[in-house]
Structure 1
């Protein structure tokens, strides 16, 4: 099996998270669910930490557990991801427990002591249900996304087109004098608006190419330091902030098997945002490290930061942080959305920590299972 086929096969394996404070129950479930990737958690808090790392398809949870019980865990999981499928395992037949679980949107129940055949059947049904949920959610969001996108494009193009149109009308009517300093300044502004339109069209072409490619990966050996440094050097946002210094602390790691274009795009978005939201002076620090399971890229700036309430939204389609409330943020708000999607396609994660006026730290984790032996 070649590298691409092997990686695709690994991505297709479904992940089941088993949550129970009894190790013997967790081990029994793991043995019964051969063919799946099984994660284990001894309580609700540990389960949430594992779930937030991403990649979990179905959760099997006990009800009576320390710290966070199964019903509260169920509620929190549904808040985080409404399409997640949760199977509740319980040895209790009280109607109140069943009703509370149903109110929290439990998808199925398994009674203890566990029956292996029942367990496997319930998980198979849960995966089918998850696929249907996700398909329904996608269908419902399609019309909304199309409407939002058309509205966004109209808004983004209207301002520069109006400015250019007014200038051309004045030019045609003889109002503009080439020797007038105000006219020359207006001409400079119109040239800037034209370049902005050109960049918008270029962005649209890039995003349309990503949409056409879908989840297809073209893997090749890649050195992350050799990707990061040129991206910083070519970043327009970095060029626009000459007072912001880039600081590098990059380990020379083994090459990883990556889709170069997609990973470069993802890292490029992180780099651009770090400089974009920096002040006129400061430092953007880049750290690249390798541990036992993952390669960790950390990009940290000293900029204006992001309010806590905005953080959950920054990876949504079309969302843009507009701290001044002016509604004039450039771009389409798709960069970080695709950045996260591309990192997820490689089995990795991207997380953001930030505080207003204290800067932002973005961490990209890429698993070492995609590393290539030289």
Structure 2
């Protein structure tokens, strides 16, 4: 495909919404913008409804319209999507209108009567501007994530390092008696903090590898029943809660063709969280069932639960549920983010239901996909 053909193909996928209460103006714009996907709206309210359906790249709007004028439409659109590019068409040269449009973050102006060549040029420039805005927004988002990550790492490492440092200072000052029960408890505490640091480094290295990896799904035969049992047996969070009863309700399923490492990670994160957020006593139930052509693994705990307003956030990067508000939840808040990404790579989904004080159920729906070879 040559450069011209590729440009035409890319352009044909871009959607332009023309908003004007005059049908003749909308039709003229549509003809001038041949080669783009052009949608039309007769007023601001209709334009908002069309925009909320998604897929609009540039909006071309008149100022004076019934129901919702162009300036108010511009304000609402920018609140919904700051990187959206909006071109204002106006037959009014009043300074106040221009200033209000600029305050509402208008990207360009076209005066009426329309110059069709100017219109097409303005839209082409607007698309270039939108691409630049999105790139800048992505860079800012990456910088913000990097800053949050560095801050989180500093916080997570500071507590165990401070504890170990204080103990070593006491040891160097001769404040240690191997026969004193308190000294022995402090030593056990330091050993525990050292193991925690080691686990943080291991987890950090694993996440670093996931961030850089782009190998897709490497499928192999995988028996989910055995995998789930093995993950529970090796879970440090399960070992730390001996008072929590584990109930297995695993139907015998044939081996599936899955990426063992990625699915094991996803299931491991869900299982670890079930124990981590359980009380000292309770129950974690693991249910594996076949649902048509899919299989569903549901991990249910009787723990603290998650407030309804927190549920949409639990799959975000660096987000951690902190029921006590102490800021001492272990981990980096990346586990469920990558768990969902890895399940999505298998065309599956993760859903969550929770009630504070009652418990949480996370459900992984995994398509069977291609059957595993014997």
TM-score for both structures, normalised by structure 1:
0.66
* Unaligned residue ranges in structure 2 (runs of 5+): 1-38, 59-64, 86-127
Pairs within 5 Å for 1:337-348: 337-348=337-348
Q: Deviations over 1:68-91 (max 9, x none)?
A: x9955854x7xxxxxx63599xxx
* Secondary structure of the corresponding residue to residue 197 of structure 2: helix
Which whole-Å CA distance do the structure 2 matches of 1:351 and 1:270 have between them?
A: 11
Matched, 1:227 2:197: no
- 1:317–1:334: 8 Å Cα contact kept in structure 2? yes
Residue in structure 2 matched with residue 328 of structure 1 by the alignment: 328
Residue in structure 2 matched with residue 361 of structure 1 by the alignment: 361
Q: Deviations over 1:200-254 (max 9, x none)?
A: 1111111111112135222112121121111111111111122222222222223
Which whole-Å CA distance do the structure 2 matches of 1:291 and 1:134 have between them?
A: 40
Query: Judging changes above 3 Å, is the alpha-carbon distance between structure 1 residues 172 and 133 closer, same or farther for their aligned structure 2 residues?
Result: same
Which whole-Å CA distance do the structure 2 matches of 1:331 and 1:352 have between them?
A: 20
* Unaligned residue ranges in structure 1 (runs of 5+): 1-60, 64-68, 78-83, 89-93, 109-127
* Secondary structure of the corresponding residue to residue 300 of structure 1: strand
- 2:221–2:373: 8 Å Cα contact kept in structure 1? no
Which whole-Å CA distance do the structure 2 matches of 1:230 and 1:321 have between them?
A: 26
Residue in structure 2 matched with residue 85 of structure 1 by the alignment: 55
* Secondary structure of the corresponding residue to residue 369 of structure 1: coil
Which whole-Å CA distance do the structure 2 matches of 1:369 and 1:181 have between them?
A: 57
Query: Judging changes above 3 Å, is the alpha-carbon distance between structure 1 residues 167 and 259 closer, same or farther for their aligned structure 2 residues?
Result: same
- 1:222–1:260: 8 Å Cα contact kept in structure 2? yes
Residue in structure 2 matched with residue 174 of structure 1 by the alignment: 174
TM-score for both structures, normalised by structure 2:
0.66
- 2:352–2:361: 8 Å Cα contact kept in structure 1? yes
Residue in structure 1 matched with residue 190 of structure 2 by the alignment: 190
Pairs within 5 Å for 1:1-374: 71=48, 75=52, 85=55, 103-104=76-77, 137-214=137-214, 216-372=216-372
> In the TM superposition, what is the alpha-carbon distance from 1:284 to its structure 2 partner?
1.3
Residue in structure 1 matched with residue 120 of structure 2 by the alignment: none
Which whole-Å CA distance do the structure 2 matches of 1:361 and 1:173 have between them?
A: 50
- 1:254–1:373: 8 Å Cα contact kept in structure 2? no
Query: Judging changes above 3 Å, is the alpha-carbon distance between structure 1 residues 260 and 70 closer, same or farther for their aligned structure 2 residues?
Result: farther
Q: Please, what is the CA RMSD of the aligned residues?
A: 3.4
Which whole-Å CA distance do the structure 2 matches of 1:279 and 1:217 have between them?
A: 36
- 1:297–1:364: 8 Å Cα contact kept in structure 2? yes
How many equivalent pairs are there? 282
